[in-house]
Amino acid sequence: MSMQTRDLPSAVRPTKLTLFLRAWWVWQAVRFIVINLRMAFMILKSHQGRLTLSRSARKLQG
């Protein structure tokens, strides 16, 4: 038994603002940066204490 299109509930249509933001390169760049920062922080949190300091960071510590 196959479902026909008319039996499915109607999907929510994206607003004009949503469509605009999906296509606007500036918004895409902002989202890209935010997602990458979140990912970097997640990775840093998962490496708690297992990261060694670089030579330059050790010099700064004294």
Q: What is the pLDDT of residues 1-21, one digit of tens each?
A: 555 666 667 788 999 999 999
- pLDDT interval class at 46 (50, 70, 90): confident
pTM here is 0.54
> Residues 54-58: what's their mean pLDDT?
64
pLDDT of residue 58: 62
Residues sharing a CB contact under 8 Å with residue 14, sequence separation 6 or more, in sequence order: 22
pLDDT of residue 49: 62
Q: Note the pLDDT tens digit of each residue in 19-41.
A: 999 999 999 999 999 999 999 99
Contact criterion met (CB below 8 Å) for 27 and 21 = yes
